[in-house]
Amino acid sequence: MVSFRRILGVVARQAFLYRRSFSRILDLFYWPTMDILLWGFLTLYLERGSFQPPRFVSFFLGALILWHLLYRSQLAVSVSFLEDIWSRNLLNVMVAPLSLAEYVLGLVLVSLIKVSLAFGIMSGLAGLFYGFNLFRLGLSLVPFVLSLLALGWSIGFVTMGLIFRFGQEAEILAWALIFVFLPLSAVFYPLEVLPDFLQKWAWFTPSAHVFEGMREVVTRGTFPAKHLLWAAGLNVVYLAFGIWFLYRQYEYARRNGLIPKIGE
């Protein structure tokens, strides 16, 4: 039976890491702030240029904030797992009376906390410096955010599974794997600018439907029901695969005695 107390124990363990680590705390605030400042100035330049930009340029920051949610949700799960490897604590976690489900749910809760902080920082700065309000998207924002979080966790689970299978050599995937989805997601440009064969692949990427749906809300003012249904259905598949893949690789590592060797 899943214990909420043990899940909170995983969260508390991660919180203790941040309590006395200035570099970890800085990481929570530094990159969201730098991203919103850099791309915010670029947006101002495009809007004040001599040409007439399309309407969705005004919401360029919205795409950036949503992409950051996806990136941070995946990174928080993967890096929180890596924290246990770097500190030589993974074996202790694995032999503790803690199931894999409880451990993963704890990492997901940590991810929610980190993503909420990043979202608050970026949304606040966008409104303060550039007068941009992401909440103009209305109720559409809720399924957009949930879809991106689900995809980020799915990628995080796959990353964890690969680290269980191949050891610490695969840790670079915690930062690299998510960027495979960046060109297919059409974050900063419409989907039709992609070549035809890439458009077909992008159609099966939940994030592409999220960003296409956001542009539909901005440019047409309509609720993107089709895109959100596609994103929800695909996320069910992605999450199921991510959980299955993580469990299979964990069992493989446990049977073959690989867990004590991870991080050596």
Q: What is the pLDDT of residue 233?
A: 96
Q: What is the pLDDT of residue 155?
A: 97
3-state secondary structure 82-137: HHHHHCCCHHHHHHCCCCHHHHHHHHHHHHHHHHHHHHHHHHHHHHHHHCCCHHHH
Q: What is the pLDDT of residue 234?
A: 97
Residue 204 CA to residue 155 CA, distance in Å, equals 15
Q: What is the pLDDT of residue 264?
A: 63
Are 85 and 168 in contact by the 8 Å Cβ rule? The answer is yes
Residue 144: which region, alpha, beta or left (left: phi > 0; alpha: psi -120 to 50)? alpha
Measured at the alpha carbon of residue 137, what is the angle toward residues 134 and 138, in degrees to the nearest 5? Answer: 110
Closest CA to 164 of 233, 246, 76: 246
Residue 210 CA to residue 229 CA, distance in Å, equals 10
Tokens 């979080």 correspond to 149
Q: What is the pLDDT of residue 165?
A: 93
Alpha helices in 131-224 (DSSP H): 141-166, 173-176, 182-185, 196-202, 206-220
Cα-to-chain-centroid distance, residue 214: 17
Q: What is the pLDDT of residue 58?
A: 59
Own/partner contacts of 14-19, CB < 8 Å, gap of 24 or more, are 14/80, 14/83, 14/106, 14/110, 17/83
* Domain-wise residue ranges, the chain: 4-261
Mean pLDDT, contiguous 10-residue spans, the chain (264 residues)? 88 85 81 85 71 58 90 93 89 87 95 92 87 80 93 96 91 91 89 89 94 85 88 96 97 90 74
**H-helix or E-strand containing 66?**
helix 60-86
- Say what the pTM is: 0.91
